[in-house]
Structures are given as C-alpha cells and as structure tokens.
Amino acid sequence: MAKIVKIEVKDKDLLASLGLFFKTLLQKGGMSALLLSQRLPVEGAVMPTLVADPEKIDGADPLAPAFPINAARMVSRLTRRPIGGQVAAVLRPCEIRAVIELVKLKQGRMEDLLLVGTDCLGAYSNVNYQRYAAAGAKEATLKFYQNALSEKGTVCEDFDISPACKACEHPVPENADLTIGLIGVDTNSHLLLKANTPKGEAVLQKLDLPEATEPEGRKRAVAALIAKRIAYRDQMFEETSEATADLNKLMGYLSKCVNCYNCRVACPVCYCKECVFVTDVFDHEPAQYLRWARRKGILKMPTDTVFYHLTRLAHMSTACIGCGQCSNACPNHIPVMEIFRTVASFTQKAFKYEAGRSVEDEPPLSAFREGEFREITGGKD
C-alpha cells in the first residue's frame, strides 16, 4: 500500500505551507536543489527556478494558474548528463509526462531526479494570466484554488483556463515519485503527500511527516473532474476533425500560420537539435516562387506552412502529451493544440500507446511487434 502523509496548512495559506515543505525537502530529503515555479520580482511573472538555498524558496508558487513554459525542457537540460547531486522537480502532470517521453528519447535521465507532482486544476493563457494576476500573483493563486476546488470554477471575467487544460484527463500525477494531493482534500487544514515509487517512499522516510489516509471523497472528486474533461476533450476532437476533414479545410485552419516555428520551440518533446525547416532545404530559389505563382496564378506567402505542420504531426503525434504550449506560443492564435491532440489520439490508439504514462513503455516505431497492423500487412494473428 502506498505511503501517505500530510502537509499541514497553517492559517489557510497553501503557498506558505508548501514553501515550508519544500524547505524541509531540500534540508532533509537529500536533495541538492529543487526545480520549481517561483514568483519573480517582475510583477505577474512566474517561472521555473533552480533553488539550492532553502532561504530562497519564499516565492515558491507551483500552484499558480500560469504556464509560460513546459518545465520538462529544463529537466532535460539538468539531467541529460550526471549533475553531481539529486534534484527534485516540482511539476504539473503534463510536464511529468513530457519528462517521461524525453527520458525514453534519451534526452534526460531518471537517476538524479525526484519527480514531485501536484494535482492540477489548469492554467490560463499567458495573456489572460497577466490580467488575472494584475492585483498580485500570490493572492491570485490562492483565489484560483479556492474557486477551482469549490463550486465557483475557473472562469474569470471573460476568460477561462486554456483549452488544453479543459481537455486534460490527467489532473493527478500518478506517475510522479511523490504526489501532492489537493482535489477532494480539506486544503484549509492539510494537503496529502503520497509516495508512488520506492524512490518516493525513501524520501518520505527522511521527512518525518505525520501519516494520513486518503479521504473517501477524493476518488469521487477526481473522477468527476476527469469525466468533465473527457466530455470537453471528445467534443473538441469531433469539432477539430470536422474543421480539418479535407485539404481545403486544413489549409483554411492553418491559413494564419507565418512560419514563426514558435510551436516547435515551445513543444517540450520536439527535441531535434537541427530541424529540417530551419535548414536551407526550404530556402527556395527566388525564381521558384515566380514559377509557382505563374502556374497557380496566385501564391500564398510564406509557403510550406501546411507541410510544416503535417511534418510535425507525423513526427510528434506519438509523443504529444497535450500540454498546449504550442497554442500558447502561437502569435496568431491558431488552435494548434486541438489538431495535435486530435491526430495524436488516433495515432496513439493505433499503436496502443499513451505518451508519458511510463518509462517502461517503448515508444512506437522503436520496437518490432509481430502481428501489429494485420489489417494493413495481412497475415494471421
């Protein structure tokens, strides 16, 4: 049975209580540093930071409804080679799934890493978070979780959490070494801390926190949230499939793309050191553009935008974990996440694969499976 302890919440201040826990983790848990989101001196800025001094944790804000970057990229930088100590990374569930994919792609290592996941109730887009937190980042975080864990929900003024979060069916990081539980918990008094792996249990033994049991209502609350998100997700899949059902519709769907490649840069599992689209392969000769324009009568500029997205879909749909950073980074608000998640749902289902579930799952196309796709290759099972 998984070991569960509790983090005491003092004065109903989630963030201050979490800060004390992170200090304890750094001082007693055998960690050399923590990677976690913190409020920066710039008002409204919440970014991943690497903290080695316990006294520098006062601005920790891993619950902020801000998601400017998928921190799996930072975990990759820290762990792709031995770092000389243990690092605990405090991450959202989608960030943990991205880390797992990167490890399988040889872009990170688990040996020096402790994954600490928090229940996630979503985040606003970069622009909307700035509006939401205008009066103060800490107060905004506390208000968000009070509303989200109650019947008030996450809608604020004329905006809500991002579509990626509304469609995410993994609000609980069950594949983390340690899970910080909020959903279905009386967060005015305590938070749950659950060890999911032997590595997590070993750390809990060092922290000497009071034991706890999972509240009866937690599973029901998590199930209700997941059901709501799956309903949104399936509707999104249906609408996106219709909006991209043929080449003309797809061209219209992607018509505002300007080849900035922000979605590629923001994607946590798009790991190629050199992308073909930033080489001279698509640096066409000037005369070629004129020939295309003469043949068609009109030529949309820039060219190759649809081909770019189709190539990324073919490359990344098996590894897409649905974090939505592609849409968050798009300057023209193209619903990139929606098409990637929709295509990824078909791709991953075909391979009986779920991106980011476990490091033990072999990525599709990396291993030969006899009898796979008999409907295409023929033969008997």
- Quote the pLDDT of residue 380: 63
Rounded Cα distance between 37 and 18, Å, is 12
Residue type, 200: G
Please give the full DSSP string across 133-165, using - where no structure is assigned: TTT-HHHHHHHHHHHHTTTT-S-BTTB-S-HHH
- Quote the pLDDT of residue 265: 92
Neighbours of 140 (CB within 10 A): 23
The domains of the chain are located at 4-232, 246-377
- Quote the pLDDT of residue 359: 93
- Quote the pLDDT of residue 283: 84
Residue 164: which H helix or E strand, with range?
helix 163-166
> Two tokens at 96?
């943990």
- Quote the pLDDT of residue 376: 64
Q: Are 64 and 37 in contact (CB under 8 A)?
A: yes
Residue 167: which H helix or E strand, with range?
none
Average pLDDT of adjacent 10-residue blocks, the chain of 381 residues:
88 91 94 94 85 92 94 94 94 97 94 96 94 89 92 91 97 96 93 95 93 92 96 98 96 94 93 82 88 90 91 92 95 96 95 93 78 65 55
- Quote the pLDDT of residue 301: 87
Structural Rg of the chain based on CA atoms: 22
Could you give the 3-state DSSP secondary structure of residue 250? helix
Rounded Cα distance between 367 and 46, Å, is 40
Return the exposure string of 293-308: e unless at least 16 CB atoms fall within 10 Å of the residue's CB, then b: eeeeeeeeeeeebbeb
Residue 179: which H helix or E strand, with range?
strand 178-181
- Quote the pLDDT of residue 373: 67
Neighbours of 201 (CB within 10 A): 15
- Quote the pLDDT of residue 254: 95
